[in-house]
Amino acid sequence: MRMVDLIEKKRDGKELTTEEIQFIIKGYTDGSIPDYQMSAFTMAIYFQGMTERERADLTMAMVESGDQIDLSKIEGIKVDKHSTGGVGDTTTLVLGPLVASVGVPVAKMSGRGLGHTGGTIDKLESVPGFHVEIDNNTFIDLVNKNKIAVISQSGNLTPADKKLYALRDVTATVNSIPLIASSIMSKKIAAGADCIVLDVKTGAGAFMKTLEDSRELARAMVRIGNNVGRKTMAIISDMSQPLGFAIGNALEVKEAIDTLKGEGPEDLTELCLTLGSHMVLLAQKANSLTEARQMLEKAIQNGSSLETLKVFLSSQGGDASVVDDPSKLPQAKYTFELEAKEDGFVSEIVADAVGTAAMLLGAGRATKESEIDLAAGLVLRKKIGDQVKKGESLVTIYSNFENVNEVKEKLYENIKISPEKVNPPKLIHEEITG
Ligand code: URA
Ligand code: CA
């Protein structure tokens, strides 16, 4: 096989065989196919697309390019959740203990990553003593015993995707549905999930800005999952404004604790119950979506999901007393209120700009080497549709810097107030099933 012939074949809109796709991914991973040929190939995919069969083959070729996590020693059906990313998305911190408390095994491998806030691990590390440096056997034992554990990403997972994603980033080929869908799905499958629940975000703060694009991506991922034997479904949820109120690491841990107490923001609670019900159903712990939801609501009401959180934290060295006393979480030196300059209704909270404001306070990493300030961040006091009076607080800013003028300016520019009544955006747009 020659790469040049395969580029030509895709360029002309023909379908590649399984063997041809495997040849390309193997050759690119081991370096025998150079970046310039792979660039031409991804551009051909960008314009010609890929059939459903090609997408599944590409995904599995990337899965097979590196290590795969073996979760077979964990009892039960392992359901993983993946979000395509948003601002202040606290769902993982809530969903883990929530579904674990009704018996769904949560074996989470997580990373740190770049972004407006840290990743799940950074957030959890705001609990004093909590750590994810546990070995594989301990990880598996903890999931079997407590139904939940988190381990830091290790091993060589989907090296083909790592290389390809970096190449796409500099060749204007990130934005291709078959490439995005196979990239995301390959990582989930390599991480060992039996079933996958996808939270595909839509709106200004999301990777996909329109409902049409989000739907297309969701469908593509659901088909890949089901075609390779992993039951997969997707929810399309709103990310035109940040989710919940808190954006920041310790602040989001507190928000997750509140939500598990039944006192969390309405949107975050609803999204977690929706995603969680599908996870419980896929894990075959309930016979219907209605039953699954009732189990989760009960676990919040009777305190069992909060108890699961405490056991999870203390099993990995964390001080579980933060659950009853969140003031033991890292606290910022200063707080400031962003006061509304006029009366009206909140009409817009531009999610990614507000995320950037949190990052300016130190809540996220700009580069891999940046230090995270776990205490820093924002708590929204108003969401889209809320009435506001001049002088009322729109946002509380938590900072270890004394001067937050730049942050305030950015927030004023991106939180709009209208004199007319505004309807809040719909939270859950669609469910996509195989
Ligand atoms: N996120 C991924 O992991 N891969 C993509 O291609 C796009 C977003
Ligand atoms: Ca939040």
Give the residue numbers marked as catalytic: 82, 161, 168, 183, 187
Q: Looking at the predicted structure, is the pLDDT value of residue 367 above 90?
A: no
Mean pLDDT value across residues 215-230: 98
C-alpha 137 – ligand 2 centre gap (Å): 32
Q: pLDDT band for position 419 (50/70/90)?
A: very high
**Residue 104 CA: distances (Å) to CA of 32, 146, 320, 334:** 43, 10, 21, 40
CB 246 within 8 A of CB 255: yes
Nearest CA to ligand 1 atom 7: 180
Burial class (CB in 10 A: 0-12, 13-18, 19+), 433: exposed
Task: Specify the CATH number of the domain 79-325.
Answer: 3.40.1030.10
Q: How confident is the model at residue 204 (pLDDT cuts 50, 70, 90)?
A: confident
> Across residues 317-337, what is the average pLDDT?
98
Confidence check: pLDDT of 162 > 80 = yes
Which of the four pLDDT bands, split at 50, 70 and 90, describes residue 391?
A: very high
Tell which residue, 89, 381, 113, 423, has the closest CA to residue 237. Answer: 89
pLDDT digits (tens, 9 = 90+) for 15-55: 999 999 999 999 999 999 999 999 999 999 999 999 999 99
Q: What is the pLDDT of residue 146?
A: 97
pLDDT of residue 114 exceeding 80, the answer is no
Whose Cα sits closest to atom 8 in ligand 1? 180
Please state the rounded mean pLDDT for residues 64-75.
Answer: 95
Specify whether the CB–CB gap between 415 and 218 falls below 8 A. no
Residue 174 CA: nearest ligand 1 atom is 6
Strands 387-388 and 344-349: antiparallel
pLDDT at residue 129 in the model: 97
Instruction: Give the CATH fold of the 3-49 domain.
Output: 1.20.970
Residue 155 pLDDT grade (very low, low, confident, very high; cuts 50, 70, 90): confident
Protein residues with CB under 6 Å of any ligand 1 atom? 165, 174, 179-180, 183-184, 207
How much is the pLDDT for 115? 84
Per-residue pLDDT band at 113 (split at 50, 70, 90): confident
Superfamily of domain 331-418: Pyrimidine nucleoside phosphorylase-like, C-terminal domain (3.90.1170.30)
Please tell me the distance between residue 154's alpha carbon and the centre of ligand 2 in angstroms: 27
d(CA 7, CA 24): 10
Q: In the prediction, which pLDDT does 207 show?
A: 86
Domain ranges within the chain, ordered by starting residue? 3-49, 79-325, 331-418
pLDDT band at 198 (very low <50, low <70, confident <90, very high): very high
* pTM of the predicted model as reported, rounded to 2 decimal places: 0.95
Q: Which of 183, 188, 207, 214 to mutate to test the pocket of ligand 1 (most atoms within 8 A of CB)?
A: 183
Contact 380, 351 (CB under 8 A): no
